[in-house]
Amino acid sequence: MDILRCLALTRRTLFDISSSASLPAFTLIGDVTIDQDKEFMRGVTPRFLFFIGRMCNLAMDEKEGLMTPAEVVACAEVLEREIIEWQPNKDQSEEHSAEDELERFATQEMWRHALLINLRQVLYHLGSLHTSIRTSLDSIITFGCASSSPSLPSSTPTTPLIPESASYYEREIPWFITATCATSKHDRAIIREAFGHRSPLFGFDVLPIAERIWEATDRAGYPLEWRSVLEKEGVLMMFM
């Protein structure tokens, strides 16, 4: 949870996370073991969070002058490559249906692209209109919509895209990261529908926050850094 708070609040993690391979497995409660590549939600592994933690700490190193911009970019390139090349460990002891495997794959790819968007926003300082961010945004929307094939991301769908409702809790953060760089009415409409699948028991209602970011962006006439928007408007956000 600390890492997710750092994602929203732009601060360091409580524990040093200098490498995604540096943290061993540990027991959380009873026989519940947390391992970097063992899913704690369908399609979501702790390694994704460690990637975020490394981004947050690198951003703080740059902000505090502990690293030069060139050094930060060099580290970011290494991290970016790790995210792109990451592959899930296949647990041969567990059997899943084809539908479940497809859902899991789509969720993993949504997280991968959300991580890439965040990295490029906070470490490369790229805006929402940059080609790499637009490509990842299109991919997240496609992977997150039930009517599209996850293997064929496209920014010009020929059929209506409908966000998948069954995996909203696992995909809430990727959907929000997508919202932070959505500039078109088409993309925002899909994201609004995705947020509408929020469970009454799980998930934080982030749609009002996304709407604030969009309103500020539209007023400015150009994409804005979403954390700065929320800070200026006095909005404190924490992922739980």
What's the predicted TM-score (pTM) here? 0.84
Distance between CA atoms of 47 and 88, rounded to whole angstroms? 10
Number of folded domains that form the chain:
1
pLDDT at position 6 is 84
In a domain, 240, yes or no: no
| pLDDT at position 101 | 87
Query: CA-based angle 151:154:118, to the nearest 5?
Result: 90
Q: Would you say 111 and 144 are in contact if contact means Cβ atoms under 8 Å apart?
A: no
State the pLDDT at residue 239.
65
**Residue 227 domain boundaries:** 2-89+98-232
Kindly state whether residue 239 falls inside one of the protein's structural domains: no
The parts of the chain modelled with pLDDT lower than 70 are 1, 19-37, 91-94, 146-161, 164-167, 198-204, 238-240
Is residue 237 assigned to a domain?
Answer: no
Summarised one tens digit per residue, pLDDT across range 41-71 is 888 888 899 999 999 999 999 999 999 999 9
pLDDT of residue 48: 92
pLDDT at 67: 95
126 belongs to a structural domain: yes
User: In angstroms, how far is CA 162 from the centroid of its own chain?
Assistant: 19
